[in-house]
Structures are given as C-alpha cells and as structure tokens.
Amino acid sequence: MHSATVRKIIRAYDDPIVRAYCWARFGILRQRFLDEIGQYLPAEGPVLDIGCGFGLFSLYYAASAPGRFVRGLDVNGGRIALARRAAARLGLDNVAYEEGDARDFKGDGEMGAAYMLDIVHHVPPASVPPLLRALRRALPAGGRLLVKDVDTRPAPKRWFTWLLDKAMAPAVPVHYWSADALAGALEGAGFVVRRHLMVDWLPYPHVLYVCEARG
C-alpha cells in the first residue's frame, strides 16, 4: 500500500507511462525501504540525488523533511523537465533539478549528504571510482553518502534485475558490482562503509551502502 505522500507524488505526473513507472518503482522501493534509506539522511541541509530520474525519490525526501534541500541531477533532460514540473505541482520549494552527467560532477564541498539509488550499475565501471572521489570531496568529514545498488549474487536475482533493466532501456549497458568490489571502491574513495541488507521477498539482490566520509 502506498503512503499518502507517495500517492500525491505519483499524481503529480501527467504521462500515464511515467505514472506506471512510478507505481512500479515505488512498489520496488516501497515505504519500508524509503524509511530504511531515509533514516540515514539528515533532516536538514543540502542533499544531492545523483541520477534522480523523474525525481520521485527526491520529491519524497524533500516532502518528508521541509528542512532538507534536495538537489537532483540526471543526464536525461526530459526526465529533469518532468521532475521540475512535478515539484511545481506539489508546491515543493526545497527541491531543485539540474541536467548533467554525474561523470562531470566535481564536488563543491557544499553538500551535507548525497545518495545514488540504482545508478552505479548504469555508470561505466571506469568512471565509478572518480565519481565516488568527487562525492567524497563534496561532503564534509562525517557526511553521508548512501548508495543503493544490486549485488551480483545470488545469480538468479542478478539475472532477474538484468531482465528488468533491459526491458526498461534495452540499449543502455549495465555493469553490476559485487558487494565486496563496490564496498572496496567506496572505501578507496575515502569512506567508512557499512552494508545494510534490504531484505525483500521480491527477487532483488538489493544492498544499501551507508558510507561516512573519513576525516
């Protein structure tokens, strides 16, 4: 069952295909998982959502904490336009969107926290360590980076995720990182990493990496 906030966000999009995507996406990252992820975000200050897509999670985390300012970044200009329109419809003034490639993100030291939800496997693997280092530079010591992605094991769950990724965007290459490899890349970029297992009855090998910038 979707919460009232989630239902309001879904209604803020006109396009029935986008709404169907929102229902599916909020079905996968449903209320329990929104809370599991959200508990690690500061209730105040600037938060960066890398690869925000249509903006549904940035809208949710902005709507659920008015003291937060969520900045969404995505390479897809069409999605950014839809996210901006939805934010305006919802009357949210603590969220903003920007079109841009995460690989060009330099880190300006002004973020309190950042998150990436199912983005890492869409970024070419060689570009991931530089992106993680840029995110480290953008955060203060102790600042949080949350990365939600999928593990490579168990293999049947990875194949299930691959089929869905290919159904959504057949031409977009994906590279799944094993939990050990991604945790290692995060540590190498300057984070202390804790894994939060998001146990699901759906066949997704979700892993949430809760990272704190080392001093």
Contacting positions for ligand SAM (CB under 6 A) = 25, 51-53, 56-57, 74-76, 79, 101-103, 117-119, 122-123
State which residue, 16 or 214, has the beta carbon closest to ligand SAM. Answer: 16
Q: Are the beta carbons of 51 and 26 closer than 8 angstroms?
A: no
Helix (H, G, I), strand (E, B) or coil at 45: strand
Least distance CB 79 / ligand SAM (angstroms): 5
Spatial distance between the Cα atoms of 150 and 173, rounded to a whole number of angstroms: 15
Least distance CB 203 / ligand SAM (angstroms): 17
Cα 182 from chain centroid?
15
Is it true that the peptide bond before 130 is cis, omega within 30 degrees of 0? Answer: no
State which residue, 26 or 214, has the beta carbon closest to ligand SAM. Answer: 26
- Residue least distant from ligand SAM (Cβ): 53
Least distance CB 81 / ligand SAM (angstroms): 12
State which residue, 167 or 215, has the beta carbon closest to ligand SAM. Answer: 167
State which residue, 33 or 191, has the beta carbon closest to ligand SAM. Answer: 33
State which residue, 79 or 144, has the beta carbon closest to ligand SAM. Answer: 79
Instruction: Report the candidate in 145, 81, 78 with the shortest Cα–Cα distance to residue 113.
Output: 145
Q: Any long-range contacts for 61-66 (C-beta under 8 Å, 24+ apart)? A: 62/87, 62/92, 62/94, 62/95, 63/5, 63/8, 63/9, 63/90, 63/92, 64/5, 64/38, 65/41, 66/94
Q: Are the beta carbons of 51 and 135 closer than 8 angstroms?
A: no
Least distance CB 74 / ligand SAM (angstroms): 5
Least distance CB 197 / ligand SAM (angstroms): 18
